[in-house]
Amino acid sequence: MDPLSTTTPAAPSLDVSGLAYAYPDGHQALFGVDLTVGRGERVALLGPNGAGKTTLVLHLNGILEAGAGTVTVAGLPVGKKNMAEIRRRVGIVFQDPDDQLFMPTVREDVAFGPAAAGLRGPELEARVTEALERVGMAGFADRPPHHLSFGQRRRVAVATVLAMRPEILVLDEPSSNLDPASRRELADILRSLEVTVLMVTHDLPYALELCPRSVVLSGGVIAADGGTQDLLCDTELMHTHRLELPFGFDPRSVTLSG
């Protein structure tokens, strides 16, 4: 049996209810956040600096423990006793790929998580190949990650997470430091994945391109939740929450894909 396989109930990918959190110094970063993300949805998490986006994300795989409220992933409550399974289900791709790539070769980096979870031999090899193919990096398996370009390293970082077959892929600023071609290639890859995606970004055109739905977090509360195009066209909402589109960018001019 595949040691990574799990049965998941017919529950949303993510359900956050009444989540509140204060840092040890007393700073209250989240005030009762409610958020449900369905299977296979792609949702952008938007909001100004200091809104609480990272704080929310760090609750999804139990790095931070809720002060109040609950987080469940495909029906499984995030908590100390489920931590290994939760970390498999919630794959976080950090902004800097070098935080995630530390092995001598790309193959070993992608194999690391599944091997730690007990996958071996041909099954492990197949899992690595599948993940690298998904991100268009199959020909790079024997290369040292530090010999790759930044955009290639980001794709390998995505593969390390996909190799765990997560329920949710969480991406922190996936378009940062990418040139236009790499940015488009990553968007194509993310669109092709059959996985729930939660993307934290300040890149509003990228959110519009990739995520039919967006959630605006501001001051530790959800300020808006709706269609990305509708939210980006709401000038009052945008102004109130310090969200700014690039000069001359018209969100209505973008043809949306599902």
The owner of tokens 């790079």 is 140
Asked if residue 25 binds ligand ATP (CB under 6 A), the reply is yes
> Distance between CA 222 and CA 46 in Å, rounded?
10
Quick check: 93 binds ligand ATP (CB under 6 A)?
Answer: no
Is 23 a binder of ligand ATP (CB under 6 A)? Answer: yes
Query: Least Å distance between CB 120 and ligand ATP?
Result: 38
Q: Residue 20: CB partners within 8 Å, gap ≥ 6?
A: 28, 30, 31, 32, 33, 66, 67, 68, 69
Q: Does the footprint of ligand ATP cover residue 201 (CB under 6 A)?
A: no
Q: Does residue number 182 form part of the binding site for ligand ATP (CB under 6 A)?
A: no
- Look up residue 244 and give its amino acid: E
- Which of 54, 82, 95, 176 touches ligand ATP (CB under 6 A)? 54
Among 14, 16, 51, 197, binds ligand ATP (CB under 6 A): 51
Residue 175 is a binding residue for ligand ATP (CB under 6 A):
no
Contact residues for 134 (Cβ-Cβ < 8 A; gap 6+): 159, 162, 189, 192, 193
The verdict on 174 binding ligand ATP (CB under 6 A) reads no
Nearer to ligand ATP, 27 or 147 (CB): 27
Q: CB nearer to ligand ATP: give 52 or 113.
A: 52
- Minimum separation from the CB atom of position 240 to ligand ATP (A): 16
Neighbours of 241 (CB within 10 A): 20
Residue of 19, 43, 55, 64 that binds ligand ATP (CB under 6 A): 55
Which of residues 4, 11, 36, 50 is near ligand ATP by CB under 6 A?
50
Q: Is 218 in the site for ligand ATP (CB under 6 A)?
A: no
* Binding flag, residue 27, ligand ATP (CB under 6 A): yes
Cβ 176 to ligand ATP shortest distance, Å: 11
Stretch that binds ligand ATP, among 19-27, 119-127, 148-156, 230-238 (CB under 6 A): 19-27
Per-residue H/E/C for 18-72: EEEEECCCCCEEEEEEEEEECCCCEEEEECCCCCCHHHHHHHHCCCCCCCEEEEE
Q: Which whole-number Å values give the CA distances from 2 to 24, 115, 162, 164, 242, in the listed order? A: 40, 11, 15, 11, 47
Contact partners, residue 85, CB within 8 Å, separation at least 6: 6, 76
CA distance 54 to 40: 22
Q: How crowded is the C-beta side of 232, counted as CA atoms within 13 Å?
A: 27
Query: Is residue 47 involved in binding ligand ATP (CB under 6 A)?
Result: yes
Cβ 22 to ligand ATP, closest distance in Å? 9
Residues lying near ligand ATP in the complex (CB under 6 A) are found at 23, 25, 27, 29, 47, 49-55
